[in-house]
Structure 1
């Protein structure tokens, strides 16, 4: 489901993965672009079970990897890694390090030369036979000292400039990190960020009934798009995201899971508390009076269905998510605009 943390790939391992990935892409007629390579590299590497399972299923079914399918796979599994941006930042960092290293080497050469000159001065002082000889040695020592000072001053200024460049790179990397974990339409966490966070919580071994999930889907969303257009549909999605922000706090995490489907993770929350949060979200959407911004015409009642599930001892995150999804399906089948609780562990009234 989520990609576990892995150790850094060595150059030797990277070369071997490259050797295995390219023929596989060629075999299935997948163009070798950075985005496609990111997907198939992860498949060969095997660290993303969800990606590996889906790609293997497509291969076994003899599916043709069209440009559209390749793009969908990238957006679903590898969009957290902006290949072009990553290469740009990596190259900038490499150039910066080489530049600084070159400056340090230059100063190191100057330092060794200065040290050699000092040794020569010491030797000549011992052999000098007149004050004039010592005066000449002192003069050359003063010149070399001034030269060394200028060299170290230039290094200081150079390193100061490079320090500012490093700060800018750090800011750029932080922006890229946020972009990679955010849904561009809503600003909420994206699917990858959510699944990774869920996996971390599951690994911590939460006590039973202390980690809850809400799986949320906008009812009849296709009708909204068909009737009002995709721009209005996007506005409805952003409005639901706003509602989720208003009803989550602290370590809670709301994410857009895909399309009109959202998910909320509620740590330290049992089934009863999760149902309360779910009902507030449902009611907020049902009570909203959304209108078109262009002609002020009402959009009609926009509702959501919600599935609720809580973790079980030693449960795989995928199973918890699947149970929340099954509860959502139950809410849809029961008439929509309501919540359904998984496992029948507690009776929670549905509100239409």
Structure 2
């Protein structure tokens, strides 16, 4: 995203953006400044629509959604905030191009000087046919010098082409590095680090719309691994991850909680909403069919248990997770492959 406003206009946008950020409880950091500066400038209508929807749902914009909006709408060509290796690579490229540009400029100066000398020789040849340099030799020297400057320019163009490819590779590496820090490699879901960050923020915000969470545990997973092997176990986790990714779209946050356990954070969702989603996920997981390559047998005994809890004002991360975990435990105790809701959302403030 490029910003080309005059200083007065940029100041006006910033003055408009800051009160909006304060009013909507937006953390004052560079990423959010960019989001809200762009929002008030109305340069990216899709960003404005997404932010409006987010504000209507949560009354603010949680950190993870801010990052997603930034990546989706502003960061296509942005390399700010990258790791040191990427920045070092870009600095090396810049230095190389500067050196090469200096070489081309030097070659151009030399060529210009040689042109002046050739012009002087032509003048002398016209005035004195018996001068030292013949017309043929002057033309030959001009051709040689012209080819030299052309080759220098071509070398520079090749350097630019190579640099552009390397910059694109660095940009892709930077994007991957950012994603890897937040993603579970096996399932492609967010990792526990993201879960901890987001649930803590949701609790700190104490949003009027509240939020719910679902804990998911694949039934008899250890026995499945022992029976069919870890590769088949990984395949089951990948299938479950694929189902969660498909059904839990933004603003829901699907996470691999650890091992065979998953979680879903549902900003703005009621207990009933969460129960309905959990039941849909349960049915989808129950329908998983995996063919074992060694035997050709179809494995159809994959199920999962679900514990659902909703945030109550005064909850801590620990109390909310404990309620969801308790519901999950009861789902296991009652026969597995079922959804169980929290028993109570009352908080002991004593």
TM-score, length-scaled by structure 1: 0.54
Q: How does 1:1-352 map to 2 (within 5 A)?
A: 93=90, 95-111=92-108, 148=149, 150-196=151-197, 205=205, 207-285=207-285, 287-288=286-287, 290=289, 293=292, 294=295, 296=297, 298=299, 300=301, 302-310=303-311, 312=313, 319-320=316-317, 322-336=318-332, 337-341=338-342, 343-344=344-345
* Equivalent position SS for 1:184: coil
Whether the 8 Å contact between 1:89 and 1:173 is mirrored in structure 2 is: yes
Whether the 8 Å contact between 1:209 and 1:311 is mirrored in structure 2 is: no
- Aligned partners of 1:175 and 1:234: how far apart in 2? 22
How far off is 1:256 after superposition? Answer: 0.9
Gaps of 5+ in 2: 1-26, 31-82, 333-337
| Alignment partner, residue 42 of structure 2 | none
How far off is 1:155 after superposition? Answer: 1.8
Change (3 A) 1:5 1:107: farther
Gaps of 5+ in 1: 8-85, 346-352
1:27-61 CA distance string (max 9 Å, x none) = xxxxxxxxxxxxxxxxxxxxxxxxxxxxxxxxxxx
Whether the 8 Å contact between 1:216 and 1:328 is mirrored in structure 2 is: no
1:292-315 CA distance string (max 9 Å, x none) = 6235365646231323233748x8
Change (3 A) 1:153 1:98: same
How far off is 1:173 after superposition? Answer: 3.6
Whether the 8 Å contact between 1:307 and 1:342 is mirrored in structure 2 is: no
* Equivalent position SS for 2:277: helix
Whether the 8 Å contact between 2:275 and 2:308 is mirrored in structure 1 is: no
Whether the 8 Å contact between 1:271 and 1:310 is mirrored in structure 2 is: no
Q: Report the number of matched residues.
A: 255
1:141-160 CA distance string (max 9 Å, x none) = 99877755553343233212
Quote the RMSD (CA, aligned, Å): 4.6
Change (3 A) 1:184 1:115: same
How far off is 1:182 after superposition? Answer: 2.9
How far off is 1:191 after superposition? Answer: 2.5
Whether the 8 Å contact between 2:217 and 2:261 is mirrored in structure 1 is: yes
Change (3 A) 1:250 1:333: closer
Change (3 A) 1:207 1:116: farther
